[in-house]
Amino acid sequence: MALLEIVDLSVQFHTRDGVVHAVDGVSLAVERGRTLGIVGESGSGKSVTALTVMGLTRLPNATVSGRVRFDGVDLLELESDEMRLIRGRRIAMIFQDPMSSLHPLYTVGWQVEEAILAHEDVSRAKARARALEGLREVGIANAAERLASYPHELSGGMRQRVMIAMALVLDPDVLIADEPTTALDVTVQAQILELIRDLQSERGTAVVLITHDLGVVAETADEVAVMYAGRVAERGSMSTILSVPQHPYTWGLLQSIPRLDAPRLERLHPIPGQPPSLIRVPSGCPFHPRCSHAFSRCPREEPALLEAEAGHAVACHLPVSERRRIGQALQSSLRALEPASPR
Amino acid sequence: MASLAPTDAEAVPRRATPGDGAAAQGPTASRAWSALTSSTARYIGRRLLWGVFLLFVVSGLTFLIFYVFPSADPAALRAGRQATPQLIAQIRHSLGLDKPLYDQYWIYMKGLVLHFDLGYSYQNNVSVRSEIFSRLPATISLTAGAFVVWMLAGIPVGIISAIRPRSLLDRLAMGGSLLAISAPVYWLGLILLLLFSSDIGVVHLLPGSGSYVPLTTDPRQWFLSLVMPWLVLAAAFAAFYARMVRGNLIEAMAEDFVRTARAKGLSERRVIVRHGLRAALTPVVTMAGLDLGILLGGAVLTETVFNIPGVGRFAYDSIVNSDFPAIQGTVLFGAFFIIGANIVVDVLYAFIDPRVRY
């Protein structure tokens, strides 16, 4: 059984403008030591899914249904106090903007220590020693000195390293990284991804990597779920999805990646239209208004997420043969985007 | 991988050796500290110079306002009823009011700068400086007590409201605070006196107007006589601070770092107090310092309603009596506290927010 398994998860927020269907029947799983990439635009429900796993969407205006099985326990059924013991210690999370995610008024050493002291009955001095060790492990130079630094005194990449140190200092089973590299320079992005990968392989942590950037996922993930309008559009192993992508939305994502090696006259192919409103989700397949392959069935009937082949599920009404043909054609025109071999 | 070559910002060895930076730490830290203190000292010096300049401007403005728009002739007021013109002229001469304005200002400023002399009251010839200093304990008693009351009431109410926004408790607290902010001090003071004072009150509960005695004379009487003034003065401030704390805390609780604190598995209490409140209270400290400075210059209305012999009461009396040296003295005194509080708060800010440097 998978270490973390999300089954038919739905999250709704009741707002003044109406009910927001942020997550709608999502099922995902990640194994120990593996990386699940969740890809999608803003508002596709990927962050809400992660926050729900952490128990951070337990708000008065939120309705959560489904199951989040972690190590044999359904997290959604835990009391708040029990969930708090899992949060940070067994499932840790890092966020997009390391500037605003660290408290500006405390030193980074204090903040890492606090994470330790929240879950373990150790002395300040011991916590400090482990915080120092944690900062060294994520490659922070002059770690002893850095303990006394405030977040604003560090670069963006350093701050994200601090976040990672804080998340991993208690050696959690799962690390959820919500857009961990989006706010960083490209060169720093690669370093942070490599750091996560290294620490993961040392410790066997399961990683859930949330991103809008297929390139990031291609470099890091073992499994991928492409999310759209709070649902999973396509799910499978990284290599299957990259070799024969089968959902029109995934095709759109692949085509809209800017490429330096493309012929100069070639234009970018953005996906037309806007991400849908999650209050009034389009009928049938939520992607149909933006889909160039849509036909009469698409607005009428919502496609189920069905296995096209073993370990590769797609929610689309197009015939499998047709999807394969288009996916293969697309991929041969974009050949350069092979799963980049790590180092 | 080629793209993984460290950039400037990230020029770090992947595994730092133990003890790294230990050698560099000492000198760096002390250098940073001396740079900090010297820049702070320079900053404070600059602010103090500005403060002195401002006091000059305030004194000049008070002088101009008093003489350009005279409310009453101080000499005539002092001469009493049925005074002969000769007597008034004589008094005018003895007060120096027949000299040209610039001369009068010059004489005043000379006394102030050289001898820290605020002149003598037109009313009863006492030294304005010693009058203010003798009244300061009453003003400090009133202000300090009210400060404690409003902080102890305002901050907890603000926190409770922020934690459950739009709950019944929040609505009651915010509705009540609106009332407290809207109620003028003299109205609220009179109502309390009518209800609870031992002379005219419906319930004879507390000593009423004019019952103040210094702390050193009778601590019990001092305390009882100040209960109503404290409550009256604190009411509007408590309400304002409750609203400010509520707003700041609601904003802070929506910050990313609060989400991080929750993700670390901290207790909700700790998330609120150590993370949300810590950020929300920084501007409150600033505000509290400024308000304290303003009130130390004299809580005019409260002191007047409860007849407390403080600096504010003195300021009120001196305006009623066209007593220029007393007006000038109390205005400068108030300005001094306000400017001083501003400087203290700005310096303090660097200590409560590490991002602020001078």
Domain count, chain B: 2
Residue B296 inside a domain? The answer is yes
Task: Please answer yes or no on whether B12 and A139 come within 8 Å at the CB atom.
Answer: yes
Domain with B83, as residue range(s), is: 46-115
Residue A263 has pLDDT above 80, yes or no: no
pLDDT of residue B5: 38
Per residue in A196-212, pLDDT tens?
Answer: 999 999 999 999 999 98
How far apart, in whole angstroms, are the C-alpha atoms of residue A40 and residue B340? 55
Residues A257 and A203 in one domain: no
Q: Can you give the CATH number for the domain in which A175 is found?
A: 3.40.50.300
CB < 8 Å to A104, chain B: 257, 279, 353-355
CB of B167 within 8 Å of a chain A CB? The answer is no
Say yes or no for a CB contact (<8 Å) between A95 and B15: no
pLDDT value for A255: 83
B 96-135: CB under 8 A from A = none
Single out the residue in A226, A261, A296 at which a domain terminates: A226
User: Do residues A212 and A41 lie in contact, with contact meaning Cβ atoms separated by under 8 Å?
Assistant: yes
Q: Which residue from B minimizes the CA distance to A150? A: B354
* Rounded CA separation B179/B176 (Å): 5
Domain boundary among A177, A194, A226: A226
Q: CB–CB of A308/A237 below 8 Å?
A: no
Q: Which chain A residue has its CA at the smallest distance from B14's CA? A: A139
Q: Is residue B52 part of a domain?
A: yes
Cβ contacts of B36 on chain A, cutoff 8 Å: none
Residue B82 in contact with partner chain A when CB distance is under 8 A? no
Helix (H), strand (E) at residue A22: strand A18-30
Shared domain check, B158 and B95: no
* Residues A281 and A212 occupy one common structural domain: no
The partner residue sitting opposite A139, judged by closest CB among B7, B14, B353, is B14
Does residue A326 share a domain with residue A183? no
Name A207's bridge partners: A35, A175
Supply the DSSP symbol for A136.
H
- The pLDDT of residue A262: 57
- What pLDDT, on the 0 to 100 scale, is given for residue B80? 77
Q: Is B24 on the interface with A (CB under 8 A)?
A: yes
Indicate the residue of A115, A152, A188 with minimum beta-carbon distance to B7.
A188
Sign of CA dihedral A76, A81, A87, A89: negative
pLDDT tens-digit readout, A301-312: 999 999 988 889
Say if B278 falls within a structural domain: yes
Nearest to A67 by CA among A77, A57, A56: A77
Residues in B closer than 8 angstroms to A110, CB to CB, are: none
Q: Do B16 and A140 touch (CB under 8 A)?
A: yes
- What is the pLDDT at residue A272? 85
Q: Tell me the C-alpha distance between A9 and A16, whole Å.
A: 23
B264 to A88: CB separation less than 8 angstroms, yes or no: yes
Q: Domain check: are A47 and A172 in the same one?
A: yes
Q: Tell me the chain A residues in contact with residue B265 when contact means C-beta distances shorter than 8 Å.
A: 84-89, 115, 118-119
B243 and B95 fall within a common domain? no
**Cβ burial B126-154 (10 Å sphere, 16+ → b, else e):** ebbbebbeebbbbbebbbebbbebbbebb
Give Cα B190 distance to the centre of its chain. 24
| Arithmetic mean of pLDDT, A73-93 | 95
Taking alpha carbons only, the member of A34, A36, A37, A7 closest to residue A23 is: A7
The residue among A226, A252, A284 that closes a domain is A226
Q: How confident is the model at residue A337 (pLDDT cuts 50, 70, 90)?
A: very low
Which positions ≥6 away from A39 have C-beta within 8 Å? A46, A211, A212, A213, A214, A217, A224, A225, A226, A227, A253
Task: Report the DSSP beta bridge partners of residue A232.
Answer: A227
Task: At A309, give phi and psi (nearest 5°).
Answer: -150, 175
Instruction: Give A106→chain B minimum CA distance, Å.
Output: 8
Q: Is the pLDDT reported for residue A105 higher than 90?
A: yes
Count of CB atoms situated within 10 Å of the CB of A214: 22
- Shortest distance, CA B341 to any CA of chain A (angstroms): 23
Q: Report yes or no on B358 lying in a domain.
A: no
pLDDT score of A271: 85
A206 has which bridge partners? A174
| CB atoms B10 and A157 under 8 Å | yes
Per DSSP, helices labelled H in chain A are 46-53, 80-86, 98-101, 108-119, 124-137, 143-146, 156-168, 186-203, 214-220, 238-243, 248-255, 320-333
Q: What is the mean pLDDT of residues A253-267?
A: 68
pLDDT at A123: 96
| pLDDT at residue number B324 | 86
Interface probe, candidates B257, B278, B356, chain A, greatest A C-beta count within 10 A: B257
Question: Does residue B14 belong to the interface with chain A, where contact is any CB pair within 8 Å?
Answer: yes
CA angle A261–A262–A268, rounded 5-degree value:
130
Tell me the per-residue pLDDT of B41-84, one tens digit each, with 9 for 90 and over. 888 899 999 999 999 999 999 888 887 776 677 788 777 778 88
HEC profile for chain B? CHHHCCCCCCCCCCCCCCCCCHHHHHHHHHHHHHHHHHHHHHHHHHHHHHHHHHHHHHHHHHHHHHHHCCCCCHHHHHHCCCCCHHHHHHHHHHHCCCCCHHHHHHHHHHHHHHHCCCCECCCCCCEHHHHHHHHHHHHHHHHHHHHHHHHHHHHHHHHHHHHCCCCHHHHHHHHHHHHHHHCCHHHHHHHHHHHHECCCCCCCCECCCCCCCCCCCCHHHHHHHHHHHHHHHHHHHHHHHHHHHHHHHHHHHCCHHHHHHHHCCCCHHHHHHHHHHHHHHHHHHHHHHHHHHHHHCCCHHHHHHCCCCCHHHHHHHHHHCCCHHHHHHHHHHHHHHHHHHHHHHHHHHHHHCCCCCC
Contacts of A89 (CB under 8 A, 6+ apart): A119, A170, A172, B265
Return the pLDDT at B7. 38
Question: Per residue in A180-199, pLDDT tens?
Answer: 998 888 888 899 999 999 99
Q: Are A182 and A8 in contact (CB under 8 A)?
A: no
This complex has an ipTM of 0.89
Residues B83 and B142 grouped into a single domain:
no
Q: Assess if residue B37 is contained within a domain.
A: no
Show pLDDT as tens, one digit a residue, over chain B (358 residues). Answer: 334 333 333 333 333 333 333 333 444 555 556 666 778 888 889 999 999 999 999 999 988 888 777 667 778 877 777 888 888 888 888 888 888 888 888 888 888 888 888 888 888 889 999 999 999 999 999 999 999 999 999 999 999 999 998 899 999 999 999 999 999 999 999 999 999 999 888 999 999 899 999 999 999 999 999 999 999 999 999 999 999 999 999 999 999 999 999 999 999 999 999 999 999 999 999 999 999 999 998 889 999 999 999 999 999 999 888 888 899 999 999 999 999 999 999 888 888 888 887 7
pLDDT computed for residue B70 by the predictor: 62
Residues A219, A321 within the same domain: no
Give the model confidence (pLDDT) of B139-165 as tens digits: 999 999 999 999 999 999 999 999 998
Domain that residue A137 falls in: 33-56+79-226
Taking alpha carbons only, the member of B281, B177, B305 closest to residue B239 is B177
Alpha-carbon torsion (B212, B218, B220, B221), positive or negative: negative
Q: Is residue B280 within 8 Å of B248, Cβ to Cβ?
A: yes
Question: Helix, strand or coil for residue A61?
Answer: coil
- Which band of pLDDT confidence, cut at 50, 70 and 90, is reported for residue A313? very high
Separation CA A179–CA A93 (nearest Å): 11
Interface contacts (A, B; CB < 8 Å): 136
Residue B4 lies in a domain: no
Torsional sign, CA A57, A59, A62, A64 = positive
A11 with A64: CB under 8 angstroms? yes
State the average pLDDT over residues A221-244.
94
Chain B residues with CB under 8 Å of A86 CB are: 265
The residues that bridge with A62 in the sheet, in sequence order, are A13
The pair of structure tokens assigned to B287 is 């505000």
Number of domains in chain A: 2
Work out the minimum CA distance from A79 to partner chain B, whole angstroms: 13
Of A87, A89, A141, the CB nearest to B12: A141
